[in-house]
Amino acid sequence: MSNHPSLFAPLQLGGRLLKNRIVLPPLTRQRAAQPGDVATDLMAAYYRQRAGAGLIVTEGTQIEPRGKGYAWTPGIHDAAQIAGWRKVTEAVHAEGGVIYAQLWHVGRVSHHALQPGGGAPVAPSAIQAHKVKAFIETGPGAGMLVEPPVPRALSVAEIGEIVALYAQAARNALAAGFDGVEIHAANGYLVNQFISAHANQRTDEYGGSLANRLRFLNEIVQAVAAVVGPERLGVRFTPLFAGTDEDRVYIGLVEDDPHTTYLEAIAVLERAGVGYLSIAEADWDNAPDLPPAFRRAVRDTFSGKILYAGRYTAERGARLVEEGLADLIAFGRPFIANPDLPQRIANGWPLNPLDASTLYGGAEAGLTDYPTYAHSTQGEAA
């Protein structure tokens, strides 16, 4: 009998049987091959090591060159990138794992140095992002955080082109062997920028009312669902409530009425029959918890699978599953440092500590060199 049995009950998702409720969430690692932003054999080894998860969602993967906000992140918009990701999916499938690609466009959270031709990043409105940085390369293996410039507002025609790029990225993901895809609509990136009244001040059909601000999300969901099937589609949100630390990088956008905003956004997914909803919670010290009333309203609004990510312990995650408020629980930093995290949770084994200095960029160190529990105990015995 394992510890936290609710986390080890199988679950059907998108035509696949997940072996447990433990998820490796999207975690930026910045180790794609250069030039070309191509997934590597090393990345395949990293994901393969963590195939004990019920579900793996890849690091954010840009759907087009303009969607890039950080050096060395992978793409999924050309043939070489598709081939690189196929190595990853084959490695995960060889271990009996299930893996989804996260489709990413950063919108205004970019920089001229990352944009094709050195142009301005694109966004719903020409409003500069604050309290957030892009990351540019300054030399081989070296880079720096930089302030995003004022973006260029997209035309209506260009919005339609980006929706089509999401659909093409979904086709590319299927060609690369992924079991499904997740739309990144969180953390202040492009889809989140359209949703937010703080970033979207358009006066056309994509701005103004909440229904208009959700139009871009709805069009992407419809287009991607038509490619992969709605049951093989997930969408990630960050519904942040009062009390968040606005100096925190990657916090997303805090709406004046996050409860209403995100329940309406979730209703878009429900109408489309989306397979799962991923909610990324604030995960820094003293961050506020999601209001219990919001969690209950999410369950009442959405009939698909619900995934929560944040600073979850196994105990806290299991409790949310047992209460019927969650179906899946993601563990980010613990899964980076513990490739055998599900086994450690099941057996109550101690966890490796995380080395935060090796999170972004580099090679094997901090990516594939964390020991499994069996390996580390054998080392002690020796």
- pLDDT confidence of 2, banded at 50, 70, 90? confident
Tell me, what's the pLDDT at 378? Answer: 60
Angle formed by the axes of helices 79-94 and 156-175, nearest 10°: 40
Query: Is the sign of the CA dihedral 76, 80, 86, 88 positive or negative?
Result: negative
Residue 127 has pLDDT above 50, yes or no: yes
Who wins on pLDDT, 85 or 141? 85
- As a whole number, mean pLDDT of residues 308-324 equals 97
Taking only the tens place, the pLDDT of each residue in 231-245 is 999 999 999 875 544
360 catalytic per annotation = no
- pLDDT confidence of 282, banded at 50, 70, 90? confident
> Which residues make beta-bridge pairs with 22?
329
Residues contacting 215, CB < 8 A, separation 6+: 194, 205, 206
Tell me, what's the pLDDT at 249? Answer: 40
Share of the chain above pLDDT 90, in %: 90
CA distance 304 to 326: 10
Taking only the tens place, the pLDDT of each residue in 206-220 is 999 999 999 999 999
Which residue pairs from 18-21 have beta carbons closer than 8 angstroms and sit at least 24 positions apart in sequence?
Answer: 18/54, 18/55, 18/98, 18/328, 19/52, 19/54, 19/96, 20/52, 20/53, 20/54, 20/342, 21/54, 21/317, 21/321, 21/327, 21/328, 21/329
Taking only the tens place, the pLDDT of each residue in 156-196 is 999 999 999 999 999 999 999 999 999 999 999 999 999 99
**How confident is the prediction for the chain on average, in pLDDT?**
94
Taking only the tens place, the pLDDT of each residue in 69-85 is 999 999 999 999 999 99
- As a whole number, mean pLDDT of residues 4-9 equals 98
- As a whole number, mean pLDDT of residues 321-341 equals 98
Tell me, what's the pLDDT at 240? Answer: 85
Taking only the tens place, the pLDDT of each residue in 34-55 is 999 999 999 999 999 999 999 9
Tell me, what's the pLDDT at 381? Answer: 40
Render 50-93 in DSSP notation, one character per residue: TTTSSEEEEEEEESSGGG--BTT--B-SSHHHHHHHHHHHHHHH
Whether the Cβ atoms of residue 208 and residue 151 lie closer than 8 Å to each other: no
Whether the Cβ atoms of residue 361 and residue 31 lie closer than 8 Å to each other: yes
Residue 340: what residue type? Answer: D
Greatest alpha-carbon span in the chain: 69
Enumerate the domain spans of the chain.
Answer: 5-381
How many residues in total does the chain contain?
Answer: 382
In this predicted structure, which of 15-24, 129-138, 334-343, 369-378 has the lowest mean pLDDT?
369-378
Who wins on pLDDT, 374 or 212? 212
Taking only the tens place, the pLDDT of each residue in 242-266 is 554 444 444 568 899 999 999 999 9
Beta strands in 126-223, from DSSP E residues, in sequence order: 134-139, 142-146, 152-153, 180-184
Fold of 5-381: TIM Barrel (3.20.20)
CA distance 362 to 367: 9
| Active-site pick, 70, 166, 189, 308 | 189
Residue 380 has pLDDT above 60, yes or no: no
